[in-house]
Structure 1
Amino acid sequence: MRAFEQNWRKLVKLSALLRSERGTLALTFALSATALLLMGVGSMQLAMISSGKSKYQSAADTAALAAIAPTTDNNKMKEVAEKTFMANLNASERAAVVSFSVTTETGRVRSALISYTANQATMAPGLVGGSYTPISGTARARKADYRYVDIDLWLDGSGSMGVAADEAGRDKLRLLSKDDPDHKNCAFACHIPTHLKESNLYSTSEQRAHANGVKLRHDIMKESVQILIDELHDAYPRGLRARYGVARMAADWERQLAFTSDMDTARDFVGTFQLKPGWSSSRLTPALQTGGGTLSSGAGDGSQAKPEKFIIIVTDGMQFDWTAISPGPIGSTACQTLKEKGYRVGVVQLKYVRLDGDGAFEYWVKPYYDQITPALQACASAGYYFHADNPDEVRTAFRQLAKTLEESLRLTE
């Protein structure tokens, strides 16, 4: 009997244990199934949200493009945008739209900025958050007409542009020419022919300067004008279409490069720009008057038929022609005439390095030295005057000029 009772108790314990394990297994299964269900519904909900975002964004992109299409009138841009947006959604998607707005810009630049919000219904509100998920986004389209401009580069080609670009170059030139029988200690107009050929290496003092690493004022001018062309060419993808012309101002005004839209041609030509040969005078005011006489009205609207017109004057600002004209700074009347014709006049003043002790500088330039800058400031259109005291500042000035031109043209991204 005792053995029977012991066996019976063992059976009861085993039965209880089995019942307990079945409950645990059932609970574990139930929890796992719920988690799997939530994960599945959540994944499907995320997929729906992603699909919904894609659908609404595609509709907004299409609407923005329709708004700025050439066939859309300015006063119809918002209406066309909204109709196009809704037309690219099904009935339930349209019903879910909470807000839709359009901001437009018209004129040479046309743009449409669309903002939207929609409440997309969830699959199982009780399982994954609320009854809807907000979806929002923006779409933007911009189109700018090409901006056509003519940039006429009027470069000082007079003898004084052969002066060294800075004081260190001036002193080096004087040392290099100390034995020149014709131009001893030359620092002024150092592009002139020289009899001292130094083993036939140099036929001009300009060549002597270049062979010894001395930058002259007109070297910096050429490099910097090329920087201007490069900077403006960078704006080409954003709508700027520029033509370049080149004229030389010295004893007179001379057209040297007819207007060309080929940037490389203009850039290469500037690189070969030469000063007026010989003892060239600086008749800047008469040169401006002559150049202005060749011009028609410059008041263009930026279209291909009527490009906006700029004259960029690069000079040291000092003129003299011995006894032919009075020495002094560039005259203001000729500049005013250019502006009255509708041209925007930019002026880049290259520093006139002092040449104290040089006879020509002392007699012709020094008495008027402090008048140069105010005269050039008056010559330029408002905001278009730039001054540079050394080669690095010259390059900076031309980059600033390029930026000013771009901003004035309201180029778009």
Structure 2
Amino acid sequence: MFKRFLADRSGNLAIIGSLSLLPLLGTAGLALDISNAIKVKSELQGAADAAVVGSITDKSDGVAQAMAMSADGTVSLSETEARQIFNAQLSTTAVSDVPGQAVQPPPEDMETAARVFTVSAVKSGRDINVSASFSTLVPTTFLRILGKDFIRVDGVAKATFQSNSFMDFYMLLDNTPSMGVGATPADVDKLIAATKNASDAGSRNCAFACHIVSEKGDADKTSNYFVARKVGATIRIDVVAQAVAALTREAEKTETYTNQYRMAAYTFGQKAEDAKLYQVSKLTDDLKDIQTKVDTISLMSIPYHGYNGDQITSFDQALTRINTEIPAPGDGSTAAKAEKVVYFVADGVGDSYKPSGCTKKTTGGRCQEPIDVSFCKTIKDRGVKIAVLYTTYLPLPTNDWYNKWIKPFQSEIGTKMQACASPGLYFEVNPSDGIESAMKALFVKIIRSPRLTG
């Protein structure tokens, strides 16, 4: 009987199946428990990602704290906000945010339990860097058969907020006689029609509103400037002044934090007899005050038509002098380290006494040329940005003076103005375009947007 028992092969499948059941159940349990651990990690990773990003939005308390800091360092409010956001994302999870706390076995009746969540937020220059890590033990079900009660999961999350810079804007506005041209084609036509019978041949059929003032200082009511006012024609310098005021309002709305933008305004002078850099408003964070003061900007006056051989527009002098007004630029991380930007608005044609160094031919020392970009380079080499709004210089094909002296380099005017600008900070606007819209568009280019990376 014993020999028959040993030789009997019936019932093998049941025995083998019984012996295989334990590893099969373990394998199936491994898949289910790992799947659950992955689900838990995904939930925690999402909460950590939300925490680091949410703690450095442009309106968060942490960013406000960082922008008020005079030096680099820990941003405690961002760390607090990150913990609060992480906790809020895990309403069914027990969370301990004590940095470095050791992982403890979680209660068996809870699906997950995060026992460690650490976060660090540090300001470094314009950047606020936030990093967080989490670690938890996920209870198992089937793997307990194999003696494994928990699966450990952990992860990290990082984000960087690059703040908008603190910026100081130095508005350099060309108010020389060439900016007396009609602001739009309709204004040009209106001026030409209104001056067709002018007694002064130089003012007849003229699209320019020359601001002529008598030697006694009283305004000459027959000058084209007053003709323009009488017939309601708008000239370019009027639009530029209005656009600067609108730009300050835009800056107020765009500010992410207090006193982020400061502005100063300058023109080429109030009158031709004393043409020099004129401060309309000193650098200030009171943008409403700037709005009030730019309303006073007017076309430069001249004592009579053809004064000083029309040699009144010296870009060389204006750029040299404004360069001395600007202190060393910073990285934009604080108000004390503000970036510096020259916001330059002009039609791009210089006309001054420059017997040597003129980039075009002269006549009796009179230099008519596109802007000499070497003066722009001197400013940019200091780390100061130059934003250029080029108000297109209009061809005057029926004018002999234009045909002889300006037409030969007409094609270079815009090119040189663009070369004067810092990369990407150039905008051209012709009389049929809106100068105000162009100034705002250029402003947006300058300030850029914050950068969040996770």
State TM-score, norm by structure 2: 0.60
For the pair 1:110 / 2:128, whether they are aligned, the reply is: yes
Alignment map for 1:129-148 (pairs within 5 Å) = 147-148=165-166
Instruction: Report the counterpart of residue 399 of structure 1 in structure 2.
Output: 440
1:216 shift after superposition = 1.0
Shift of residue 103 of structure 1?
Answer: 10
**Alignment pair present for 1:185 and 2:194:** no
Asked if 2 retains the 8 angstrom alpha-carbon contact of 1:151 and 1:243, the reply is yes
Correspondence 1:3-402 to 2 at 5 A: 72=74, 81=83, 85=87, 86-87=95-96, 96-97=112-113, 107=124, 108-110=126-128, 147-182=165-200, 183-188=203-208, 190-193=210-213, 202=221, 204-238=223-257, 241-249=260-268, 251-278=275-302, 279=307, 281-321=312-352, 323-402=364-443
Deviations along 1:295-352, whole A, 9 cap, x unmatched? Answer: 4423444322221100011000111137444101111110000001110000000022
Structure with the bigger percentage of helix: 1
- Give 3-state SS (helix, strand or coil) of 1:320's partner: strand
Q: Deviations over 1:35-90 (max 9, x none)?
A: xxxxxxxxxxxxxxxxxxxxxx9xx979976996878579x969x9499842389x
Contact 1:314 1:347 in 2 (8 A): yes
SS of 1:356's equivalent in the other structure is coil
Give the distance between the partners of 1:224 and 1:405, measured in 2 at CA: 16
Residue 164 of structure 1 contacts residue 216 of structure 1 at CA under 8 Å; is this kept in 2? Answer: yes
Shift in alpha-carbon separation, 1:359–1:213, aligned structure 2, 3 A: farther
**Shift in alpha-carbon separation, 1:260–1:110, aligned structure 2, 3 A:** same
The normalised TM-score by structure 1 is: 0.65
Identity of aligned residues (%): 24
Deviates more, 1:296-305 or 1:210-219: 296-305
Q: Distance in 2 between matches of 1:380 and 1:320?
A: 20
Structure 2 counterpart of 1:49: none
Shift of 1:104: 7.2
Q: Please tell me the residue identity of whatever aligns with 1:149.
A: M
Which of these two proteins has the greater Rg computed from alpha carbons?
A: 1
Higher alpha-carbon deviation: 380-389 or 394-403: 394-403
Cα deviation for residue 369 of structure 1 reads 1.8
Q: What is the rounded CA distance, in whole Å, between the counterparts of 1:164 and 1:81 in structure 2? A: 60
1:63·1:82 contact (CA, 8 Å) conserved in 2? no
Letter of the aligned partner of 2:178 in structure 1? S
RMSD of aligned alpha carbons: 4.6
Whole-angstrom CA distance in 1 between matches of 2:440 and 2:262: 18
The one-letter amino acid paired with 1:275 is L
Whole-angstrom distance in 1 between the partners of 2:85 and 2:189: 74
Return the letter of the residue paired with 2:248: I
